[in-house]
Amino acid sequence: MLMTTRPMFDLALEGGFGIGAFNVNNMEITQGIIEACADAESPVILQISKGARQYANIRFLRRIIDACVEEYPSVPIAIHCDHGDTIDLIRTCVDDGYTSVMIDGSHHPYDENVRLTREAVEVAHTHGVVVEAELGMLGGIEEDVVGLDPETYQREIEKYLTDADEAADFRAKTGIDSLAVAIGTSHGACKFVNEPKLAFDRIEAIMTTCPGLPLVMHGSSSVPREFVDLINRYGGDLPGAMGVPEPQIADAVRKYAVCKVNIDTDLRLAMTAKIREVFATNPGEFDPRKYLGPARAAIVDMVRRKLEMLNSAGKAGAVIDHWSRQGQPMPSHYSRVA
């Protein structure tokens, strides 16, 4: 069932779980994500970045997602724009039937971030679309999102974390529905020089100044060692790959107001590891089904692992019931294929 993130976050805030926000780029990744969520009876956010739109064409991605909605009507699904950077892109995503958008003005001065975010909220809310924004700065690199280098970020982390009082001011001035916060996470596979420790005290402070505001963690892939080793064993080169420890992410969603956790790098690692393994162990293989099939199965396993970490399994029915009780059917443009 297609919906906004609002009913998901309503329950997550009180229920001690988080919603997995997984980036989609092609059919196999999307199929793997939705199969795992259907098996676990978990709500899910399917994220489309600007890079994914350029790579796959939004018409193709929307039709793949529409097929997921039809095949798995019991799975609550939100379509989310990941790291939108312009109002034109936000308008386009709304027209393309997204149910949630992120406007990322975190790289701008504070006043410009406020102005850009407020305009995005005005555009999206007119069509019933919810808005996520970002305040603070992360490290690492993901597509067009370029943060600080890992060494600098970890050494000077305190000055880049989201300020709780500023978050309250930002919320009041923009009218956002959720906030991506900088609490020590970082984009990419080689996120850190040393094992990170999430700033739970900063989350608590933001929860105090922004009560009831759903928080979002970007850069939250855990970069499992077994997949890094598999990639390196079969010809890859990922020295120093390190992610956010899964127990810390689990604490963030079970004990604090973190309702959405973005996961992309771990899916890429799982898929790439299995494709490399097939090519290395069977050099004569040229049937795409024989290497994309195992890659898709690896996506299923990885997403199942993340849903357990997020404690979202079994929550799909409650989210749908909550959404139905709100009496707010989806606007007609949501069901229109882009």
Instruction: For 27-79, write each residue's pLDDT tens digit.
Output: 999 999 999 999 999 999 999 999 999 999 999 999 999 999 999 999 999 99
Which is catalytic among the residues 82, 85, 163, 266? 82
Which DSSP state fits 187?
S
Of the candidates 22, 43, 70, the residue with the CA atom closest to the CA atom of residue 299: 22
Q: Where are the alpha helices (DSSP H) in 110-199?
A: 110-125, 150-155, 164-174
Of the candidates 14, 45, 75, 106, the residue with the CA atom closest to the CA atom of residue 264: 45
82 is catalytic: yes
Q: Is the pLDDT of residue 296 over 80?
A: yes
Burial class (CB in 10 A: 0-12, 13-18, 19+), 243: buried
Least confident among 106-110, 158-162, 317-321: 158-162
For residue range 234-262, what is the model confidence (pLDDT) as tens digits? 999 988 777 888 999 999 999 998 999 99
What mean pLDDT do residues 109-120 have?
97
Query: Structure pTM?
Result: 0.91
Domains and CATH numbers, the chain: 6-335 (3.20.20.70)
pLDDT band at 190 (very low <50, low <70, confident <90, very high): very low
